[in-house]
Amino acid sequence: MSVLNCHNLVKSYGRITALSSVTLAVEPGVVGLLGPNGAGKSTLISVLLGQTPATSGEGSVLGLDIRRRQRQIRRQVGFMPENDCLIPGLSGIGYVRYAGRLAGMTHGDAMQRAHEVLDYVDLDEARYRPAEEYSAGMKQRLKLAQALVHDPDLLLLDEPTNGMDPQGRQTMLALISDLGRAGISVLLSSHLLPDVERVCARVLIMGGGELLATGGIAEMKRPHATLYRLEYSGDGAVFRRRLAERNVAVLEHRDGQLNIELPGEGTQRLVLEAACEAEAQLHGLHPKRSSLEDMFMGAIQRQTDP
């Protein structure tokens, strides 16, 4: 069963369309939500949490209708916002316990569970200190703890590694990976592509309120059949000319390196022929792999330049 389902979801604020006919189905697991500022990520989260009513379309979270079962959805979903959202004056333990109480836990359960999740996010002794005295990394982990306190089935994380140092980032990503292994589905909204690449199995790419691309990271990063990186020595101008005569497109050239696109699969021999004719010596021919950044930029490019 999909944890998130949307069908033609539209959200408009007057004449501004924040979500434009978004249709998606997210399977359980850790999924990345990518998009530039203003892409509609936060609006999508808000609509999924049932905070903002959708203008039209349908959607469900964990099988619960987003229009009719908002409170039930918020019982089963944990949300970690991008900003601090701390309550000044409360200690770490007081803050997480309060979050548990607001979610509907009894006093005893909330207290016990608050200690458990604070242990989990490694806020041991700091739990009794006022939360506003925490470092940026500790605040992020505290926010994760408040989202986890009622043991949700789905976590919505908005920029969870924002403002963290490299070690803190590693810690946060390790926690997210572990949550995924524990059976909690995670929707990770982030600008940091390496973070998404490291912990997510799938990604959703949004832009301009639309869902631009979706798929598994592994399959998106498969080697290209026609894109190659070529290393050579010899006269570069003659070599490029010979390649062009054989319909091999040169995408980028630097000293001794070319990024090329072959006219079809299995046509690598054209490169060898061109090298022979140009009297260039080949040192390497490597199939090119897409990075998440390539995918992201490609999707954005297709949107702006259809």
Based on the shown chain and the rule CB under 8 A, indicate whether residue 4 belongs to the binding site for another protein: no
Based on the shown chain and the rule CB under 8 A, indicate whether residue 109 belongs to the binding site for another protein: yes
Residue pair 201/29 in contact by the 8 Å Cβ criterion? yes
Residue pair 231/257 in contact by the 8 Å Cβ criterion? yes
Question: Where does this chain touch another protein (CB under 8 A) — which range of 42-50, 190-198, 211-219, 294-302?
Answer: 42-50
Q: Give the x/- contact pattern for another protein in 162-181, rule: CB under 8 A.
A: ---------x--xx--xx--
Q: To the nearest whole angstrom, how small is the minimum distance from the Cβ of residue 80 to another protein?
A: 9
Question: Where does this chain touch another protein (CB under 8 A) — which range of 24-32, 81-89, 212-220, 263-271?
Answer: 81-89
Please report where in the chains the tokens 């070599």 appear, as a residue: 239
Q: Which is nearer to another protein, 145 or 258 (CB)?
A: 145
Q: Which is nearer to another protein, 17 or 257 (CB)?
A: 17
Residue type, 303: Q
Based on the shown chain and the rule CB under 8 A, indicate whether residue 297 belongs to the binding site for another protein: no
Q: Which residues contact 305 (CB under 8 A, 6 or more apart)?
A: none
Footprint of another protein on 230-269 (CB under 8 A) = none
Which tokens go with 256?
């001794």
Instruction: Tally the C-alpha atoms within 13 A of residue 162's C-alpha that lie toward its C-beta.
Output: 17
Residues that contact another protein, how many (by CB under 8 A): 54
* Cα 233 from Cα 257, distance rounded (Å): 9
Based on the shown chain and the rule CB under 8 A, indicate whether residue 127 belongs to the binding site for another protein: no
- For the sheet with 77-80, list strands across it: 77-80, 154-158, 185-189, 30-34, 202-207, 210-216
* Cα 72 from Cα 262, distance rounded (Å): 54
Residues that bind another protein (CB under 8 A): 42-43, 45-46, 49, 51-52, 71-72, 74-75, 77-79, 81, 83-90, 95, 98-99, 101-106, 109, 113, 116, 119-122, 124, 146-148, 150-151, 158, 171, 174-175, 178-179, 182-184
